[in-house]
Amino acid sequence: MHLNLRSHSSNPVIISSLVWNAVRDSLTKQQRGDLIIYVISVKVTDTRITIKTGKPVINTELSHHKEVIKARIEESLRTFGIVPIERKIVFV
């Protein structure tokens, strides 16, 4: 069976889910899977991706992996036919 999400690519829930999974995947590949439990939510807008942890020390640690996370997010969105948009990644 072929998975086609093109008709749902504008759905914010689908996009947030893809971004959440990309964050989890990138941290796991960086041997930092321990940080995943601190991620409370992921919100995607047209201009930014907000990753909420509520802990400044975790936000600092995540910012060290920002480029890897961003690359994995872009790859994930392209895989499902979602046009990449330049978005700023923010940790709060």
pLDDT in tens, 67-91: 999 999 999 988 888 877 889 999 9
| 47, part of any domain | yes
| 4, part of any domain | no
- For 76, the domain range is 10-91
Mark the ranges of the chain whose per-residue pLDDT is less than 70: 1-9
Q: What is the pLDDT of residue 79?
A: 86
- Domain containing residue 41: CATH number: 3.30.300
* Tally of domains in the chain: 1
Q: What is the pLDDT of residue 65?
A: 95
| 20, part of any domain | yes
Global confidence as pTM: 0.84
Phi, psi of 53, deg, nearest 5 = -120, -35
Find the DSSP H helices in 7-87: 12-29, 56-63, 66-79
